[in-house]
Structure 1
């Protein structure tokens, strides 16, 4: 299977199964469009109005060489592998600790409902529950050495003292069990101060700072409960935070909605503020929400991604580089095959922990009792649910099987699939279309870099 597309002046051909990327001329591009359904004679006849016979024969020879080198039309040899992989023993390697089911902002699109999570009461995680969560992670991590813990909310800094105590406990356990904790923090920034920055820079491998971009965009969707905007409070703090981390190991992360389909302006606004690690993602919302992304919005958003990619290419040439999370792609190796086929590991390798110690497949399932898996005190009790998540991969989803993006998006988000289709083995359609466009832009940028070397 191959995928062809044009982007910012490049004719690009992706061989899906090998991952090989080819930047080709018009002749090869046009030949490939009809290659599989036509004989050599038919191809020459159909394209003779546009190219002479010698050009076409040369293009056909070039294509055949790539096929012989297993760089075009390669076979999919991964399906048997992933089903064997799904039978593996379960090892937990990451937890999302809901350290605070409470928040001091009132973001309009928040899936966590300001920390209430589908009716769960607002509360803070105790040190004892957090300690039991770390013990659970260590006990269920098998021989895996590197473990990840994200302090999440609500707003985690509303429970900062417990965060500090749990990090200290984790560091003690590292030495006893031969483990290495990679702690991360996701924050809305309102409570960030010098103590928080100093601690995070010492202990947090990554920090995610939530901001949606331009002041009017951010303040419309991320206000305080009484309506005041958060932009003016968080921007100086985030700029200092990013600088203190040497512009590494952090992301400013935003969400764009139907109200700012020109989201590239928000990405560039953040870059112009001096941030070098940026993620601005589409909101996931039900159609009845006035800010939801719709199918009708897609053409505008495709153009916007193209515009952003072109501007990033221009800035790269001027030495004004910044990273945009959704355009970051590794064409040389990337994640291991299993990860590329099965995704984030929700419900198996990755779990979310509520303030009372309940275990869910990920933060987006928290509060849905059908997805309660157990507790940090009793372990995984719903083994059938765990097995279902283990079997979730690009081959269990009919929409993914013939999709060129499957080895890059890994089948998409299980929670989004469930929320829109009632099954984790489906795919969120609007999200899929946007993901495919982002992958094309990312490949184009890598092609441009290679050409400019």
Structure 2
């Protein structure tokens, strides 16, 4: 609806509403006649009157068709937003990587990005990037500097230079650092250095026990990297000590073949190493769509396999394993009134936060956010080795939106990423029931530097299908333990 309200009703009221909304007039009249036989005219009239009163009093089943998204930062305030509110800069220190992971977006099977390159950022480009961050960030909010690759530790001396130059230059606002690493190059000395830098967090890539990790995460010669990665992680945990929970996190990629038993193996592995208990922040995701299979080919495969297939098997083939398994874990802890905390919590919690924190209105209005798209260049920018600006590391199809020499290309951002997106999307978004809860961002709809509306529409369908299941799950949880969901209101929502 235009209010984002959800009503509670009994089974008969639900039955009537469902048929009113989804059946034709002739079918609905037939359903009503059948209901008269089941419950009698008096009871049926009572149900219908209750529904009518709720719809009228709560302004349900109404909406104002939007003409555009409501986001001053995307439209009226764009230049001011870009010039004063930069929050994070991600620096691609090198295109080189010492691994050749099977699901990497830079491997040869992924068409939307460069392949593994040899480019390296120079000190001059790094210095200019940091100067840019200082100039365009907000003094109160500060700036976060992230080191990325490739494998950024291949350029460890440059990383140290960036840290030291930033600390010397950015002195009037909060400053934090982070590095994303495959762990294989971490030495005790590197770990100690990272731990010594104030505000330095580390995102560590490890996919689980040895046979799972090594099935995709291999080096240039094709050898598994688990032993080197787990050694590097131990160095980091030892160096950070009690600050590990706060500053060290784990990134797990859950790749085919999908199964519940694989997730249980990962869970048992993480719980089986006592020193890993210091890690409280673990994030698990699927590979980026397109890097291990093509979305169109996958759709056709699933259509062929759907017949005569048990739901659990279909879920696993479809790649819903992670969500279904995580929902079971979540619900189990919720029923026991335990603190909800398990390694794949992000797979279910992010959608619950979006639902829990949704804006609810008394009357319909046309206030619809810009899907879940950030203002390009506002929350973060990705600086390539050559100094070009991309939207972020999660949007491999991003166009170049500026560079360190000339700054943002505001005209291109406005025309290609805002106006074109709005024009192409509103035809569909203005008629979509899920618009207020949409999680669509640029990462899902850019291809080779421009908007791909066909790609966006495919993800739209996926988002809507998932949202239906998420709404069901959220309200089932609310019935099981409503107090247990209150913590969702305190989580900072991204997107």
Q: Establish whether TM, by shorter chain, passes 0.5.
A: yes
| 1:75-94 equivalences in 2 (<5 Å) | 75-76=63-64, 79-80=67-68, 82=70, 85-90=74-79, 91-92=81-82, 93=86, 94=88
State the shift of 1:152 in Å. 1.4
Number of equivalences:
431
1:8 matched to which residue of 2?
Answer: none
Q: Is the 8 A contact 1:105 1:225 kept in 2?
A: yes
| 1:169-184 equivalences in 2 (<5 Å) | 169-176=165-172, 179-184=173-178
1:314 matched to which residue of 2?
Answer: 332
Q: Is the 8 A contact 1:294 1:430 kept in 2?
A: no
State the shift of 1:101 in Å. 1.3
Q: Per residue, is there more strand in 1 or in 2?
A: 1
Q: What is the SS of the residue equivalent to 1:122?
A: coil
Alpha-carbon spacing, 1:95–1:113, altered in 2? closer, same or farther (3 Å): farther
> Which structure has the higher relative contact order (CA within 8 Å, separation 6+)?
2
| 1:380-395 equivalences in 2 (<5 Å) | 380-381=408-409, 383-391=411-419
Alpha-carbon spacing, 1:38–1:292, altered in 2? closer, same or farther (3 Å): closer
Q: What is the SS of the residue equivalent to 1:134?
A: helix
| Counterparts of 1:269 and 1:415, CA distance in 2 | 30
Q: Is the 8 A contact 2:371 2:435 kept in 1?
A: yes
1:260 matched to which residue of 2?
Answer: 257
State the shift of 1:376 in Å. 0.7
State the shift of 1:135 in Å. 1.8
Q: Is the 8 A contact 1:183 1:204 kept in 2?
A: yes
State the shift of 1:122 in Å. 1.4
| Counterparts of 1:64 and 1:355, CA distance in 2 | 62
Q: Is the 8 A contact 2:71 2:369 kept in 1?
A: no
Q: What is the SS of the residue equivalent to 2:357?
A: coil
2:99 matched to which residue of 1?
Answer: 105
- In structure 2, stretches of 5+ residues that fail to align are 272-278, 304-313, 361-366, 484-495
Query: Does residue 1:34 correspond to 2:19, yes or no?
Result: yes
| Counterparts of 2:472 and 2:18, CA distance in 1 | 19
| 1:343-354 equivalences in 2 (<5 Å) | 343-346=373-376, 349-354=379-384
| 1:144-183 equivalences in 2 (<5 Å) | 145-176=141-172, 179-183=173-177
1:218 matched to which residue of 2?
Answer: 213
Among candidates 384, 387, 391, match of residue 361 of structure 1: 391
| Counterparts of 1:382 and 1:429, CA distance in 2 | 26
- In structure 1, stretches of 5+ residues that fail to align are 2-16
Alpha-carbon spacing, 1:202–1:383, altered in 2? closer, same or farther (3 Å): same
Among candidates 126, 132, 137, match of residue 133 of structure 2: 137
Q: Is the 8 A contact 2:202 2:248 kept in 1?
A: yes
1:447 matched to which residue of 2?
Answer: 475
| Counterparts of 1:362 and 1:373, CA distance in 2 | 11
Q: Is the 8 A contact 1:399 1:426 kept in 2?
A: no
| Counterparts of 1:119 and 1:302, CA distance in 2 | 26
